[in-house]
Structure 1
Amino acid sequence: MGNWAVIAEYYSDVYRTEFICRGQETKDQALEELHAALHTYLPSKSIVEKRRQVYRFADRESYLVVIKGRLSEWECTLRIAELVSDSADPLVAERVRLEEAGAKDSGGPQDRVPPGW
């Protein structure tokens, strides 16, 4: 089972997070699922859709979906998320730690803390 998921975040009486799909093996697969959901995802509350607007955030992995209904307007953020820890499966965190360590050793650009911070 993969570590990637597509989630919807919105406010409806209380702040909510809803999984659209889970278990994607790669980030690219999760992005494909995200792009498919942008024009088909419907909120769990009933709304008669008249118009849908989709805004892409600068990170290109998050989108704001605005659905205008007959009487109301509903907004949610759709994005991908990676599972990095699972108390039922400690190997998840270990795999992520090893992947991150491998990425640091790749010789690519590195974030570093400036001296004195």
Structure 2
Amino acid sequence: MGNWVVIAEYYSDVYRTEFVRRGLETKLQALEALRAALFTYVPSKNLVEKRRRVYRFADQETYLVVIKGKLTQWECTLRIAELVSDSADPAVAERERMDGGAAEVAEGPQDRIPPGY
């Protein structure tokens, strides 16, 4: 199972995060899936699309998709993410440590998520 995913984040009565694609093996595969989703992803709700604008953020891994519908306008952020820890599978975190990790460890106190949360 791959550790990379493509997610959509948007506000629809409440803030939501939706997995668009899961189980991608590499960052390159995730970026390809992200770029494919830019022009095909539609929200869960019914929306008659009249126009779609796609904006790329400077990090090259995050996009803002703005869909103008018949009556409303809808915005979402599409991005990739890597699974680095899973309380149900400690091997995920161990693999991340062995690979050197994508993120650097910050100095000073850090938040800790309790096991099973």
**Do both share a fold (TM > 0.5)?**
yes
Q: How does 1:1-117 map to 2 (within 5 A)?
A: 1-100=1-100
Residue in 1 aligned with 2:115? Answer: none
1:47-95 deviation line (CA, Å, top 9, x unaligned): 1000000000000000000000010000000000000001111000011
* Structure 1: runs of 5 or more not aligned: 104-109
Question: For residues 64 and 83 of structure 1, what CA distance do their matches in structure 2 show?
Answer: 22
Matched residue of 1:96: which SS? Answer: helix
Identity of paired residues, percent?
Answer: 75
More helix by share: 1
Number of aligned positions between the proteins: 106
Residue in 1 aligned with 2:112? Answer: none
* Structure 2: runs of 5 or more not aligned: 108-117
The residue type paired with residue 77 of structure 2 is T
Q: TM-score with structure 2 length normalisation? A: 0.86
Residue in 2 aligned with 1:106? Answer: none
How much does 1:98 deviate?
1.3
Look at both structures and tell me which one has the larger radius of gyration over its CA atoms.
Answer: 1
Q: TM-score with structure 1 length normalisation? A: 0.86
Matched residue of 2:89: which SS? Answer: coil
Where do 4+ consecutive residues of structure 1 move more than 4 Å? Answer: 110-113
